[in-house]
């Protein structure tokens, strides 16, 4: 289990959110929701053991504190929305082979890219990739680590609707295999189909809500005008909600 207890996150001189308590369990898909600038990225980085963003409190995974970063990072992986961990002049194959060596993974690059639908990207330099391609490359690298807890920051940015659905299906499959998936995204309609629960991030803490509720209404009640335009949130519908991609017990 990945846990955060009594935490405040932010940067020197500025606290983004305080009073944070969270437990992420194996096989769970969690949707992290908040307006832009509310601190989703900061929270994910703190959960990934980045000490510069954890101002107080503790983060542990399966009893391993985030201070033991080498051991911690083998279990928890943060995938940046900006593909900032990728070297622009190197190919995806280079990244996957490097991860394989450093993490002691036996995953083959060809198998990984086949699973993410990214085989054509294997020998392409990151600098030559579109935003959507870089997102796919980042997700592929996350799988290569073999980490049990995967934290995705806006992973659907730049993906066309079909590719976005394919990636969400992949996240659902990974959860079914026992990995924990925490996803921040503004595309609410898509996340509703795969998430086990919703997290609303506020300056005073995290509010956990079950799925099956009206996410649009929850967002408006929590953030009000602060939320501004609600991209990806369709107006209320009279028709039944789409069937989930996987069956929840």
Cβ atoms within 10 Å, residue 12: 6
The model's pTM is 0.86
Crossing angle for the helix pair 131-145 and 92-103, to the nearest 10 degrees = 20
pLDDT digits over 128-166, tens only?
999 999 999 999 999 999 999 999 999 988 888 899 899
Helix (H) or strand (E) holding 199: strand 197-202
Contact 187, 156 (CB under 8 A): yes
**Average per-residue pLDDT for the chain:** 86
Residues 6+ apart with CB under 8 A from 13: none
pLDDT digits over 89-100, tens only?
999 999 999 999
Q: Could you tell me the two tokens for 228?
A: 């501004």
Output b/e per residue, 227-242; b: 16+ Cβ within 10 A: beebeebeeeeeeeee
pLDDT digits over 66-122, tens only?
999 999 999 999 998 776 779 999 999 999 999 999 888 888 999 999 999 999 999
| E strand segments, 12-156 | 14-24, 29-33, 54-61, 64-65, 76-79, 149-153
Contact 113, 121 (CB under 8 A): yes
β-sheet bridge partners, residue 200: 33, 207
Give 6: exposed, middle or buried? Use CB within 10 Å, 0-12, 13-18, 19+. Answer: exposed
pLDDT digits over 164-217, tens only?
899 999 999 999 999 999 999 766 767 888 999 999 998 888 999 888 778 888
Three-class secondary structure of residue 110 per DSSP = helix
């Amino acid at each position: 289990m990945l846990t955060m207890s009594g935490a405040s996150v932010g940067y020197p001189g500025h606290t983004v959110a305080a009073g944070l308590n969270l437990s992420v369990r194996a096989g769970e898909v969690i949707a992290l929701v908040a307006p832009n600038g509310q601190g989703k990225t900061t929270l994910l980085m703190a959960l990934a053991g980045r000490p510069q963003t954890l101002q107080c409190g503790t983060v542990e995974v399966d009893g391993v504190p985030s201070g033991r970063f080498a051991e911690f990072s083998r279990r928890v992986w943060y995938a940046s929305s900006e593909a900032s961990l990728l070297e622009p002049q190197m190919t995806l194959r280079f990244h996957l082979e490097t991860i394989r060596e450093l993490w002691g993974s036996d995953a083959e690059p060809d198998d990984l890219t086949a699973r993410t639908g990214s085989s054509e990207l294997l020998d392409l330099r990151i600098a030559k990739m579109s935003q959507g391609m870089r997102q796919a490359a980042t997700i592929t690298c996350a799988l290569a680590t073999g980490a049990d807890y995967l934290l995705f920051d806006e992973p659907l940015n730049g993906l066309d609707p079909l590719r976005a659905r394919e990636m969400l299906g992949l996240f659902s499959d990974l959860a079914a295999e026992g990995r924990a998936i925490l996803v921040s995204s503004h595309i609410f309609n898509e996340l509703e189909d795969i998430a086990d629960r919703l997290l609303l991030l506020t300056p005073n803490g995290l509010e956990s809500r079950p799925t099956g509720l009206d996410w649009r209404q929850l967002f408006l009640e929590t953030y009000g005008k602060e939320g501004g335009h609600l991209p990806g949130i369709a107006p209320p519908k009279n028709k039944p909600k789409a069937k989930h991609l996987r069956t929840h017990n």
